[in-house]
Amino acid sequence: MDKKQAQERITELKNSLHQYGYEYYVLDNPSVPDAEYDEKLQALQQLEEQFPDLITADSPTQRVGGEPLDAFKKVTHSVPMLSLSNAFNETDLRDFARRASQGTSQALSYVCELKIDGLAISLTYENGKLIRGATRGDGTTGEDITSNIKTIRSVPLSIREKRKIEVRGEAFMPHKSFLALNEAKEENGEEPFANPRNAAAGSLRQLDPKIAASRNLDVFLYGVGEWDADPIESHSERLTLLKELGFKTNPEWKKCDTIEEVIEYVNYWTSERPNLSYEIDGIVIKVDDLKTQEDLGYTAKSPRWAIAYKFPAEEAITTLTDIELSVGRTGVVTPTAILEPVRVAGSTVKRASLHNEDLIQAKDIRIGDTVVIKKAGDIIPEVVRVVEEKRTKEQQPFHMPSECPACGTDLVRLEEEVALRCINPNCPAQLQEGLIHFVSRNAMNIDGLGEKVIKQLFQADLIETIADIYRLERNALLQLERMGEKSVDNLLKAIEASKSNSLEKLLFGLGIRFIGAKAAKTLAAHFETMEHLQKATFEDIIAIDEIGEKMADSVVRYFAEEKVTDLLQELNNLGVNMTYTGPKQTTEAINSELTGKTVVLTGKMENFTRNEAKEIVESLGATVTSSVSKKTDIVIAGEDAGSKYDKAEKLGITIWDEQKLQEVVER
């Protein structure tokens, strides 16, 4: 292939990949299976390696590239990014409408949008290419975070509009990403983020773009700064145009003709916000007509044509009755507040994480204190502060122990970690937690071998290592309490069945630091056998898309351990599968009825487990999501399908039963 042919092929691949990425990350409606995207991306990478001078900034291969920065450059916003004044109740909203009406002779309509709790950003495009991403900063001066912005898959690297435009919006961390990030941080002895907003801001201010890429951020765009494109007349028209240009906009916005409709919208989302997959902290209300916005103008700090309604913070007061210590499978000792049960944000809270000793001391939290709690990001129960005026002399300062509560080994604080850690590899708590993780649903998924049974087996000296699970004998199990013949037989069948699991299940179950279920599947699918993965070098592993340096280093270190080699040999001798047997995309799958469809599984099926059905559906080219929406194409319903079935019927979505799925599989 000569250079001209390479240029044409690269352009063709980039256009396809940009379209696929838009469908997947913006529309949530992919038209091709992951395998086809990966195949085209790999082809593009190979061509760019052959012809490096043809690499452009808008290439999908450049989303995570470049060396870490020494510092962020300052950016001056040509059009200031002003903050909004706040409203806290109905009266404030009516006052805003009254003031706006007095400033114009035109009849007013409004646009209501969810106020995303993240980091305000600005994206500038010239000649159809993203040239800069920046933070809001103080409104006049922000920071150039282009390399980190490019790691967000829903941000287009190129658009069809060639004139210079600057769009504005909010970068945020979805709940799922936030929970996974904090779980990993606590497991690694690091300080967790307080809420999704802090997590998003902290991620985008990382000097190493690979770290930002690992955080799975998203964006919604809603406004403009510089705009050399065709003039528009209303904010609602602007939102529509942004979507048409390929930007991700929030679908929940609504045009309201009266302030009464605005208040209805506010009240609806005040109660519905817990059902969103991301955090909002209010509602933004804007006068829709742009000429009227211009007439109303600005105060020194904010526009007169917009206001932000802020949700009231939901907190509760209760008593902290105890502080419980737990030892995780990596040895981190985590303190947890035990609380008098109290209702917060729609659920009863009995426990709240205290994270580490530094936090306890900073807030001066003592057993017996009256405390104020809230859900951080409406997700995680958090102790906000102590009600000191209710404190008596009975409460004493709490200090973390110097020894592991499970094994008595001296606790240590490793360099750059805030958590105390037990470094005894034979600590019973760590061994137990490791076993509990190994048999969990996303790992080996051994039915009947839950946390209580693992602890029972451990205390009876029947298991200590993972391999011991596969040496369990019927007679020994029958001696245990609450272990009847049927229970024992079912458990042994489940253990035997787990030997056939695909490699990624075993890989995740081993509990390698930084390797979650998704990374385990990526590694298993790439190397295909445990033997190949054991022999892989750091360079081999880091070359895999979505596998970062920390993950690659952790894998290499793990397999370098002699005891790991011995364990894997034991498992192999015991008949545990060491090969990837997961679904591989085929030509037949690309042509199936499920290709490119968004599917929701609900109810109980006779011939498939939920995970089996999910893998089959994905192997046939579909994307499986957890909730029914207008974007859902097909709901596959088993027995007792419940509310998802009802919602699908209401929305007119195609519903399949298990027999229909079976027919498609067998074609």
Q: What is the mean pLDDT of residues 249-277?
A: 93
Instruction: Note the CATH architecture for domain 3-62.
Output: Orthogonal Bundle (1.10)
Q: Which helix (H) or strand (E) holds 477?
A: helix 474-478
Q: What is the mean pLDDT of residues 73-97?
A: 91
> Active-site residue 115, yes or no?
yes
Which one of 115, 248, 374, 521 is the catalytic residue? 115
CB 112 within 8 A of CB 265: yes
pTM over cut 0.75 = no
Q: What is the mean pLDDT of residues 262-282?
A: 90
Higher pLDDT, 654 or 45: 654
Give per-residue pLDDT as tens, 302-322.
899 999 998 876 788 999 999
What's the pLDDT score for residue 585? Answer: 47
What's the pLDDT score for residue 6? Answer: 87
Collapsing DSSP to helix, strand or coil, 653 comes out as coil
What's the CATH superfamily of 587-666?
A: BRCT domain (3.40.50.10190)
pLDDT band at 587 (very low <50, low <70, confident <90, very high): very low
d(CA 425, CA 407): 10
Domain range 428-573, CATH class: mainly alpha
Q: Any long-range contacts for 49-55 (C-beta under 8 Å, 24+ apart)? A: 50/1, 50/6, 51/3, 51/6, 51/7, 51/10, 54/3, 54/6, 54/7, 54/10
Q: What is the mean pLDDT of residues 2-21?
A: 86
What's the pLDDT score for residue 119? Answer: 92
CB 662 within 8 A of CB 594: no
What's the pLDDT score for residue 195? Answer: 80
Give me the CATH topology for the region 86-310: D-amino Acid Aminotransferase; Chain A, domain 1 (3.30.470)
Q: Exposure string (b/e) for 219-229, b if CB count within 10 Å is 16 or more?
A: bbbbbbbbbee
d(CA 63, CA 166): 20
What's the CATH superfamily of 316-390?
A: Nucleic acid-binding proteins (2.40.50.140)
pLDDT band at 588 (very low <50, low <70, confident <90, very high): very low
**Domain range annotation of the chain:** 3-62, 86-310, 316-390, 428-573, 587-666
Give per-residue pLDDT as tens, 32-82.
776 677 788 888 888 888 888 888 878 888 776 555 566 788 989 988 888
Q: Across the chain, what does the average pLDDT equal?
A: 87
What's the pLDDT score for residue 230? Answer: 78
What's the pLDDT score for residue 666? Answer: 62
The residues with which 381 forms a beta bridge, in sequence order, are 375
